[in-house]
Chain A
Amino acid sequence: MLRLTAGRVGSLVVSRATVAWTTSSARMASHTHEVTEMVDMSQPMYLDSQETPLPDKPYKDVLTAADKSLKQKEKGPWSQLSKEEKIALYRLSFCQTFAEMKQPSAEWKTVTGGIFIVLGITGLVVLWQSAYVYPPPPRTFGEEWQAKQVQRMLDMRVNPIEGFSANWDYEKGQWK
């Protein structure tokens, strides 16, 4: 499932058409704390995804002095890097490890709960419908008609070898 972060929602909402009404309306002017970060979608972006394991850009592109010296050390032989340095270099390039990405969430409970709720509402709608919407059923559905239909099918010997009439005992006049 794609995780929709706040930044992305902000960038999705901000388009040429909506910039006018989001920033000029009186309601929005009072919400000074709701300034969403404007993401430039024309630049390469970072994304943690199992399907694309190598994102378009490294996670951290503004490096501190310590990070820069570590990057310099990375240009040398890697056997000289300690374990913590290797992990620090990984975390510079990537936000989450694959193990962290793959961690299961509790989303399935919300999804199945929502499905059952909607099925329940649908069931209520169907009940109301069967009481108030449906016209009277056709006469072919009635008990008497159905009995006469079965009798006619037996008289015609419908499927007498393996099917319908094969289950009827013609001598005794009853089902086998």
Chain B
Amino acid sequence: MSLPKPVMRGLLGKRLRFHAPIAVVLSIVAAVAFKYGVTEPRKQAYADFYKQYDAVKEFNAMREAGVFESVRPTGE
């Protein structure tokens, strides 16, 4: 019945030395993934939309549909 004495000290430090680099790497990966998975496509979508956007045409279409209160459709 002579077992080796178990490790009594430095347990938290050992855990942190193991997990902290993993945490840092995973955080950076998450940030990079979000940037190239979400924000860059979103910026591109907005740029593409406004490249061919005719504000006056859209306004007239909305006016004819009757959604404005200040300017009614041309018929009325």
* Interface, chain A (partner B; CB < 8 A): 152, 155-157, 160-162, 170
A155 to B60, CA, bound (A): 11
Q: Determine whether the beta carbon of B45 is less than 8 Å from that of A155.
A: no
Known: A155-B62, A156-B62, A157-B58. A162 touches B67 (CB 8 A): no
Known contacts A160-B49, A161-B49; decide if A155 and B65 are in contact (CB<8 Å): yes
Across-interface contacts of A155 in B (CB, < 8 A): 62, 65-67
B side interface size, CB within 8 A: 10
Q: Would you call the interface of chain A mostly helix, strand, loop, or mixed?
A: loop
Interface SS, B side? helix
Give A79's nearest chain B residue, CB to CB.
B1
- Shortest Cβ distance from residue B20 to the other chain A in the assembled complex, whole angstroms: 29
B46, CB-defined interface residue at 8 Å: yes
Chain B 25-63 interface residues, beta-carbon cutoff 8 Å to A: 42, 45-46, 49, 58, 61-62
9 nearest A-B pairs in the assembled complex, by CB-CB distance: A155-B65, A161-B49, A155-B67, A156-B67, A162-B45, A161-B46, A161-B45, A155-B62, A157-B62
